[in-house]
Structure 1
Amino acid sequence: MSYLQQIQATAQQMAEAISSVLGMEVTIVDSQLERIAGTGLHQETVGQKITGKSIYQKVLRNGREYIVNDVTTFDDCHTCDRRAECKELAQLCCPIMVGADVIGVIGLIAFSRERQSELRNTNDRLLTFTRKMAELIAAKAVEEASRARLLLVKNQLETVLNFIAEGVLAIDHTAKIISINYAAEKMLGVKASQVIGLTLGEVLPGTPIPEALRSGVGFHDREVSVWLKGRHHHYLFNATPMRSEGAICGVVASFRSFYDWRESSSRLPKISFDQIVGDCPAMLVLKAEARRAAATVSTVLITGESGTGKEVFAKAIHSESNRGEQPFVAVNCAAIPENLLESELFGYEEGSFTGARKGGKPGKFQLADKGTIFLDEIGDMPLSLQAKILRVLQEKHVDRVGGLQPLPVNVRIIAATNRNLETMIQEGKFREDLYYRLSVYPLSLPPLRERQQDILLLARHCLQKHTRVYTSEVTGFSPAAIKLLQQYHWPGNIRELENVTECAVIRAAGQLIDIGDLPARITQPTPPALPAARAEPAEKQAITGLLETYGKSVEGKKQAAKALGIGVATLYRKIRKYQIEG
């Protein structure tokens, strides 16, 4: 659609107004020679295209004004295709310009000798007037084109917003709703036509959105509980102030169900027991036991050395249980500082302590509601928190830090440790009552050195994983490398095997991993074990040296743990044991 077609009705009104003032007929054509407006005889041909040679073609081509005082003496009129039927005696044509582009032509036409004489005698005045009218028409056309573009953008934006699953609404500087998308309508049980123009408090009371309007500071994932139509709703809100010329003119906010967010953020790819690599008799028995555990609602205690795959079994138990579609939330009790562990597990209310996030924060138990929480390294949990975990198991609710009301939770607990909890009970470091609550269904994972026939199977599984990551052409292990892998005692278990395989894939130059591609601790004979009195200082020195090499940040500790062939949680435990600064 041309510029002038977009304002056809306006152009016709202007043509009639000009004709009424000047007493001459007026016509307006667009860049495609379609007559957009006309008066008198030309009104009958509005919407039709002007064919053949015409003065309008000349104006469009040259962008110049033309005055024809007498058609009988004008050269171009002699060759006009419509000369025989033309009743025009004189004409003044002016281009309608937008920038350097000609978007149309406005013409004043004389059909009588009187009007012909008037046009001839007042050329300059009429030309000045027509120029002004052409400018006015051009401005109107640009305005309409801009409005059409804005409308298109608005419609596109509304389509996008209505496609988004989150609720989105906008308020103006007076906190009145000016826009709301389909998801928000559905979540709030309203229609846009009902709420636009109402204040936010009338539609969605108790939200922190007005706070962003007052302060000019937005927020992200603010947890909010609101009452709507007699029901309690739990949302996560985001808000961003809108500004115009430096002043806050409104707020755009998005919100989603807290529970939908919790499930999407906690949902993991399902792991079945068939995906757990291992065919040795001990593993077959263990998988059968774990399947039986998955069919129950009992708490499970998984024991085994670091790196034996305790979390993998926990995920498989969760996936094959009737909670498999619900969240699985893992917490490493050894990796979280003791002073933060309670708030991480149970959450906190707004203002409960210095630095507490506005709106508070849900704890891991709340995030795992209806699903499973995996408490890894449970043996490293402080006694004070052990009592609270016991209370959750008994009473099925949690108390947020700074909270006044208990929050009910429906959570299955799977715990894991590499420590001897029975010995810890005797030493007064672990609660006996909690131990019996957790070990309703105990599972013990064998170390890799007791799974000789699985070592090569696991090594090949790790090889496939790392060759994909590094786009390596390595296809397997040489016989000599296989022999060394099977002879090694694997103190770091499967985690160490995975690290060794990754290192070998990076080093390998050929298609097979050979002895030279394996780390030195695999290829060199293991020295006799040091007495404990000498081993501990050596271990402390090794850890200190690696922390100096890699740094004491979280990432540095991960690298140090990887170099030692142990888990990060085990490294943290040893740092505390040896009182290493970090």
Structure 2
Amino acid sequence: MPLSAPSDLTGLPKDAQSILNLAAKSLFDVFAHASEGMLLVDRAGKVVWINDQYRRYLPALGFASEQDFVGQPVSAVIQNTQMQQVLETGKPILIDLLVNKAGTFVVSRFPLHDDAGQVIGALGVVLFDQPQSNLQPFLAKFTLMQRELDEARDALAVQRRAGTGLRQARHSFASFIGSSSVVVDLKRQARRAAQSSSPVLLLGETGTGKELLAHAIHASSPRAKGPLVSVNIAAVPETLLEAEFFGVAPGAYTGAERKGRDGKFKLADGGTLFLDEIGDMPLGLQAKLLRALQEGEMEPLGSNRLIPFDARIIAATSRDLVKLVQSGQFREDLFYRLNVLPLRVPPLRERSSDIPALIEVLAEDLALRSDLPHPEFSPQAVALLSAQNWRGNVRELRNVLEQLLLRSDTGVMDAPEVEQVLRESGLGQISPVPASAPFARHSVLPLVSQDADALLAPLSQQVEALERLAVAKALEVTQGNKVAAAKMLGVSRAKLYLRLP
């Protein structure tokens, strides 16, 4: 443990220093045992330690193990954290609300000083991870203010994109929800790719989260402070693509802007250029793009002057580039130039164990944006949603959840409501819930033991055994997703961890 206290605490303290040492240890012990989690960062802002209670938040934050979490910059792994502010100012934040993918938390943050008074780190403490009744007015006001802030940010983002085409990354790796093996492996490869300057090629079906992953790679790269400029090639008319990429010289043609216009390569200088739907790029422009990537310089439309640029390229496509190369629709040399660090983003049907957590996060976001109460999904509803193929992947799942929220009068979603929305949303065939899923076969868990000796045990032991069995069944249904299992059982994550089999 990175914090320590005097080991000999027998007897009463004899001076002020011993009182301080004893108080420090006592307070640390109180927080360690009474809080919902503790986290320690060093002076550089990297996570160096978490306690046992904090580990239960890792799946919801997008981490499969403590090893993947510890050692990372705290701002990269925890959304909206204020730990860096504590490190910079040396002042504590005694009480605050932290909202991220793992939920809404009441937290405290404390700076740690050495004997010379220098800040050497900071301690974060999760005081509550479940809304308390006496905090409801505070939480309601906070939610309203947060929603208004999000709307203001969205409006500013639209204005910024309209004026300059620039924007910063809005997502981190924690935004890519999932703890399945394929997602954990994808994030590991993406984090490694983020530290390189080589082109990244994201391959995957529509709606799998390729743009989100591009944002996360940029946010974790050495270029994070630079601009992130996106171009959806499929959305720009072919006649405008060259000007969109390379810009326009002053007076290049009739109607051109007098001062000229910077292209996306110029705007992305020092940052990242994200080329979405690269498979839809016309052949004529592919040759110019290849030359620009090879030489590191571009020639604006109507100009005879070469302009150097420094932009890291992330490309994405939902099409099969190999087949396009074979059919002559995509240049082979450009394919090799882009296919340096290929990352395959798996479709939702290949990571169905992540669907319960996605339902939780997406539904909460939709409810907040629409000013609706947080919805409740029955185990049967979650099982039915998890069984579908989701041709449109996360985008389609979000659409179905939004329909459910807007149609519901009670905020409680069960399998019949889900099935109706699935049929009306144009799903060709609704996949049934697998017979192996315990909640598909039983409306009530078979918790009652038939063992006569077990029935003679004290009632508290029987209740504890039944709770452990219920937790085991829920984890089986959610394929090990503890956040979804806690939601399914209607208990806090803390209680779930206490009853882990």
TM-score normalized by structure 1?
0.44
Matches within 5 A, 1:152-301: 266-301=166-201
Distance apart, 1:357 and its partner CA: 1.6
Equivalents in 1 of 2:300, 2:184: separation in Å? 42
- The structure number with the bigger radius of gyration is 1
Equivalents in 1 of 2:228, 2:427: separation in Å? 40
Distance apart, 1:347 and its partner CA: 0.7
Matches within 5 A, 1:387-406: 387-406=287-306
**Letter in structure 2 aligned against 1:466:** L
Distance apart, 1:519 and its partner CA: 7.0
Q: Does 1:453 align with 2:353?
A: yes
* Corresponding residue for residue 488 of structure 1: 388
Q: 2:251 aligns with which of 351, 358, 361?
A: 351
Q: How many residues align?
A: 270
1:535-569 residue CA offsets vs partner (Å, 9 max, x unmatched): xxxxxxxxxxxxxxxxxxxxxxxxxxxxxxxxxxx
* Corresponding residue for residue 438 of structure 1: 338
Q: Does 1:468 align with 2:385?
A: no
CA gap of 1:290–1:480, structure 2 versus 1, over 3 A, is: same
Equivalents in 2 of 1:500, 1:382: separation in Å? 34
Conservation of the 8 A alpha-carbon contact between 1:278 and 1:458:
yes
* Corresponding residue for residue 372 of structure 1: 272
* Corresponding residue for residue 316 of structure 1: 216
Q: 1:303 aligns with which of 172, 196, 203?
A: 203
Matches within 5 A, 1:1-80: none
CA gap of 1:266–1:347, structure 2 versus 1, over 3 A, is: same
CA gap of 1:299–1:510, structure 2 versus 1, over 3 A, is: same
Equivalents in 2 of 1:402, 1:482: separation in Å? 57
Q: Give the fraction of aligned pairs with identical amino acids, expressed as a percent.
A: 45
Distance apart, 1:476 and its partner CA: 2.1
1:157-185 residue CA offsets vs partner (Å, 9 max, x unmatched): xxxxxxxxxxxxxxxxxxxxxxxxxxxxx
SS of 1:266 mapped into structure 2: coil
Unmatched tracts of structure 2, length 5 or more: 1-159, 431-501
Conservation of the 8 A alpha-carbon contact between 2:385 and 2:418:
no
1:92-134 residue CA offsets vs partner (Å, 9 max, x unmatched): xxxxxxxxxxxxxxxxxxxxxxxxxxxxxxxxxxxxxxxxxxx
Conservation of the 8 A alpha-carbon contact between 1:343 and 1:400:
yes
Distance apart, 1:265 and its partner CA: 6.1
Equivalents in 2 of 1:327, 1:289: separation in Å? 23
Q: Does 1:419 align with 2:319?
A: yes
Matches within 5 A, 1:330-349: 330-349=230-249
Distance apart, 1:390 and its partner CA: 0.5
Unmatched tracts of structure 1, length 5 or more: 1-259, 530-582
* Corresponding residue for residue 381 of structure 1: 281
* Corresponding residue for residue 409 of structure 2: 509
Distance apart, 1:479 and its partner CA: 2.4
Equivalents in 1 of 2:418, 2:299: separation in Å? 51
1:176-210 residue CA offsets vs partner (Å, 9 max, x unmatched): xxxxxxxxxxxxxxxxxxxxxxxxxxxxxxxxxxx
**Letter in structure 2 aligned against 1:406:** L
Q: 1:407 aligns with which of 289, 307, 322?
A: 307
**Letter in structure 2 aligned against 1:275:** S
**Letter in structure 1 aligned against 2:209:** G
Equivalents in 2 of 1:329, 1:484: separation in Å? 38
Distance apart, 1:335 and its partner CA: 0.6
SS of 1:460 mapped into structure 2: helix
Equivalents in 2 of 1:511, 1:478: separation in Å? 11
Equivalents in 2 of 1:475, 1:261: separation in Å? 33
Conservation of the 8 A alpha-carbon contact between 2:203 and 2:317:
yes
CA gap of 1:425–1:365, structure 2 versus 1, over 3 A, is: same
Equivalents in 1 of 2:384, 2:213: separation in Å? 28
* Corresponding residue for residue 45 of structure 2: none
**Letter in structure 2 aligned against 1:443:** L
Distance apart, 1:356 and its partner CA: 1.3
Equivalents in 1 of 2:364, 2:428: separation in Å? 32
Distance apart, 1:329 and its partner CA: 0.3
